[in-house]
Chain A
Amino acid sequence: MAKAELMNYEMALEQFEVVIGLEVHIELNTKTKMFCGCRNEFGNEPNTNVCPVCIALPGALPAVNKTAVESSIKIGLALGCSIAPTGRFARKNYFYPDLAKNFQTSQYDEPIAFEGSLDVETPSGKVHTVLIERAHMEEDAGKLTHIGGSTGRIQGAEYSLVDYNRAGVPLVEIVTKPVFGAGAEAPELAAAYVRSIREIVKALGVSDARMERGNVRCDANVSLRPHGTEKLGTRTETKNVNSLRSIERAVRYEIQRQAHILANGGTITQETRHWHEDRGATSAGRPKSDADDYRYFPEPDLVPVQPSKELIESLRASLPEKPADRRKRLAADWGFSELEFRDVVNADLLDSIEETVAAGAKPQAARKWWMGELARIANESEEGVVPNITPAQVAELAALVEAGKINDRLAREVLGYVLAGEGSPAEIVAARGLEVVSDDGALIAAINDALAAQPDVIDAIREGRMQAAGAVIGAVMKAMKGSADAARVRELLIEMANK
Chain B
Amino acid sequence: MSDLIRKTAAELAGLLASGEVSSVEVTKAHLDRSAAVDKAVHSYLYQNPESALASAAEVDRARAAGEKLGPLAGVPIAVKDNLTTTDAPTTSGSKILEGWIPPYDATVVAKLRAAGLPILGKTNLDEFAMGSSTEFSAYGPSRNPWDLERIPGGSGGGSSSVVSSFQAPLAIGSDTGGSIRFPAAVTGTVGTKPTYGAVSRYGLIALASSLDQVGPVARNVLDTAMLQDVIAGHDPFDSTSLPESLGSMTEAAKKLDIKGMRIGVIKQLSGEGFQAGVTARFNESLNLLANAGADIVEVSCPSFEYAIAAYYLILPAEASSNLAKFDSVRYGMRVEPNENATIERVMAATREAGFGPEVKRRIILGTYALSSGSYDKYYGAALKVRTLIQRDFDAAFAKADVLVSPTGPTTAFKFGDKIDDPLAMYLNDIATIPANLAGIPGMSLPNGLAVEDGLPVGIQLLAPAREDARLYQVGAWLEQAHENIWGKRMIDFAPELEVG
Contact = CB atoms under 8 A, between A and B. Distances in A.
Given A100-B325, A102-B324, A102-B327, A300 B239 contact: no
A162 B331 CA distance: 13
Contacts, number: 104
Contacts of B321: 91, 93, 103, 295, 297
A297 B313 CA distance: 12
Q: Which of A103, A162, A291, A297 has the most CB of B within 10 A?
A: A297
Interface in A280-305: 291, 293, 295-297, 300-303
A60 B103 CA distance: 11
B240 A297 contact: no
B104 interface: yes
B220 interface: no
A162 B83 contact: no
B175 to A, nearest CB: 16
A291 B240 contact: no
Interface string B319-343: 0110011110111000000000001
A303 B330 contact: no
A186 B320 CA distance: 42
A404 B407 CA distance: 94
Interface string B444-477: 0000000000000000000000000000000000
A178 B191 CA distance: 57
Nearest to A52: B104
Given A93-B324, A295-B370, A295-B371, A58 B347 contact: no
A61 B325 contact: no
A56 interface: yes
Interface string B165-203: 000000000000000000000000000000000000111
A276 B321 CA distance: 35
B318 interface: yes
Nearest to B326: A58
B239 A62 contact: yes
Interface in B237-262: 237-240
B370 A93 contact: yes
A273 interface: no
Interface in A52-109: 52, 55-64, 91, 93, 95, 97, 100-103
A232 interface: no
B239 A61 contact: yes
B163 interface: no
A160 B343 contact: yes
B102 interface: yes
Interface residues of A, number: 31
A57 B238 contact: no
Contacts of B90: 58-59
Interface string B248-289: 000000000000000000000000000000000000000000
A63 B238 CA distance: 7
B231 to A, nearest CB: 15
Of B104, B318, B325, chain A has the most CB atoms within 10 Å of the CB of: B325
B18 interface: no
Given A97-B343, A154-B343, A300-B210, A58 B103 contact: no
Contact of B103 (A57, A295, A296, A302): A57
A35 B152 CA distance: 38
B236 interface: yes
A103 B367 CA distance: 13
Given A97-B327, A100-B325, A297 B317 contact: yes
Contacts of B237: 61, 63
B396 to A, nearest CB: 25
A95 B240 contact: no
B324 A58 contact: no
Contacts of B372: 291, 293, 295
Contacts of A91: 321
Interface residues of B, number: 45
Given A160-B343, A300-B210, A303-B240, A55 B330 contact: yes
A57 B202 contact: no
B355 interface: no
A58 B325 contact: yes
Contact of B206 (A59, A93, A154): A59
B209 interface: yes
Contacts of B84: 57-59
B311 interface: no
Given A63-B239, A300-B209, A57 B102 contact: yes
B436 to A, nearest CB: 12
Interface in A110-138: none
Interface string B88-117: 001010000100101110100000000000
B324 A101 contact: yes
Nearest to B383: A298
A57 B85 CA distance: 12
B102 A58 contact: yes
Contacts of A52: 102-104
Nearest to A63: B239
Contact of B92 (A58, A63, A295): A58
A291 B317 CA distance: 19
Contacts of A55: 330
B204 interface: yes
Nearest to A93: B321
Contact of B202 (A61, A101, A102): A61
A149 to B, nearest CB: 12
A59 B106 contact: yes
A147 to B, nearest CB: 13
Interface string A35-64: 000000000000000001001111111111
B344 interface: yes
Nearest to A294: B372
A387 to B, nearest CB: 41
A61 to B, nearest CB: 5
A295 B370 CA distance: 5
B430 interface: no
B44 interface: no
B202 A95 contact: no
B205 interface: yes
A122 B101 CA distance: 58
B18 to A, nearest CB: 38
Contacts of B136: none
B64 to A, nearest CB: 35
Contact of B205 (A58, A63, A93, A154): A58
Contacts of A61: 201-202, 237-239
A432 to B, nearest CB: 55
Contacts of A303: 239-240
B325 A102 contact: yes
A162 to B, nearest CB: 7
B139 interface: no
Contacts of A296: 370
A301 B343 contact: no
B97 A58 contact: yes
Contacts of B97: 58
B103 A95 contact: no
A301 B201 CA distance: 10
A103 B236 CA distance: 23
B379 interface: yes
Given A63-B239, A297-B321, A300-B210, A57 B104 contact: yes
Given A58-B84, A59-B203, 4 more contacts: A57-B331, A61-B237, A95-B327, A301-B206
Interface of B: 82-84, 90, 92, 97, 100, 102-104, 106, 201-206, 208-210, 236-240, 317-318, 320-321, 324-327, 329-331, 343-344, 347, 367, 370-372, 375, 379
Closest 5 CB pairs of A and B: A102-B324, A295-B370, A300-B209, A300-B210, A59-B203
Interface of A: 52, 55-64, 91, 93, 95, 97, 100-103, 154, 160, 162, 291, 293, 295-297, 300-303
21 contacts: A52-B102, A52-B104, A55-B330, A56-B330, A57-B331, A58-B84, A59-B84, A59-B104, A59-B203, A60-B104, A61-B202, A63-B236, A95-B347, A101-B324, A160-B343, A293-B371, A295-B371, A297-B375, A300-B209, A300-B318, A303-B239
